[in-house]
Structure 1
């Protein structure tokens, strides 16, 4: 959910201002450029996530290309990720966000409801998802950020309006600030260090192999 409402007319100057903040960070700037380029694909007059049927089909195809199952119906009828499959009745950006979660998740949590992070906002049956949560707090927030940016970059790969998810997931909440810059650069560097990004800033199909004790704690070091 977007925390800071943004008018569509304010997006170009906001994007330009954030790009300027990245002039001394080559990889982060290349990553952001891939997201910013998708401003050209914005359809309509609002900053609402895409619900285009073609975008949805492409997102489902990408989910399946990673070997993840797809279940028809909304996550409100169960879980967003049940340990084997994603619920299909989601916006395209949310579907590719689940790919990001699958990639950065510890191998032992890929078969756990909602990746062991607790119930997501779309999950309908929350108690069982919360009961199997093993990563919460700061570490959970960090993994969420990694999955968020990786999913946004997959949306850019599909030539879909990734900039909308970037805004909706609050990467620029409060504007082009030094705090937002620092957070973005940190997450880009983490993704790169673990092989989730190419030198050009494009997402790879790397899947995490490290356990939580090795991976997440190293990110906080």
Structure 2
């Protein structure tokens, strides 16, 4: 849920403020943020178009995730085997990145063992499958959020919209916001899922096997 709505017209000023903090706090992360901010140009092609949703579904399939054209509210976003894809493109990509950041033992658990996702319909069952503590859930959610933004950009989609919606620029005038961004980008780099410049990396072949 977005805390403070941001109009794209306000983005250049906010981006300049955030970039100035990165200069002081984590200059190595500036290129990745520039990549994210620049993805605003992709809004010209539309937002959540059929083509974007098809690309998101194809991304899921490329990682071996089975897909079903059904609303997640009918069961779960991810039931451990199947991703329900009648969602926005950014939501589909976000679920794919949850698959990428989840450890092998939770990759095939309902909603990755994190508790019911916001679109899952069978909430009690999803929550009953929770097998990660609060700190782990928060960290994985944040990692999936940032990785999802980067994958949207890789697909030629406006990842900046998810970046704003998921509050990455909330408090962008505070050093803590820059440190937060740099910390999670660093974790993605350490996991081999992204470069310091924000380009996504595919996991090694076989690393996603159950």
Query: Structure 2 length as normaliser, TM-score?
Result: 0.91
Written as runs of structure 1 = structure 2, the 5 A alignment for 1:74-113 is 74-113=71-110
**Is 1:7 equivalent to 2:7 in the alignment?**
yes
3-state secondary structure, aligned to 1:184:
helix
3-state secondary structure, aligned to 1:86:
strand
3-state secondary structure, aligned to 1:70:
strand
Is residue 67–residue 83 contact of structure 2 (8 Å, CA) maintained in 1? yes
Aligned to 2:64: 67
The CA deviation string for residues 164-186 of structure 1, in whole angstroms up to 9 with x for no partner, is 00001111123342221111111
Is residue 29–residue 197 contact of structure 2 (8 Å, CA) maintained in 1? no
- Distance in 2 between residues matched to 1:9 and 1:83, nearest whole Å: 40
Runs of 4+ in 1 over 4 A off after TM superposition: none
- Distance in 2 between residues matched to 1:12 and 1:177, nearest whole Å: 17
Aligned to 2:128: 131
Unaligned residue ranges in structure 2 (runs of 5+) = none
Aligned to 1:114: 111
Unaligned residue ranges in structure 1 (runs of 5+) = 210-221
Aligned to 1:144: 141
The CA deviation string for residues 36-60 of structure 1, in whole angstroms up to 9 with x for no partner, is 110111249xxxx932111111111
Cα distance, 1:193 vs. partner? 1.2
Aligned to 1:200: 197
Q: RMSD of the TM alignment (CA)? A: 1.9
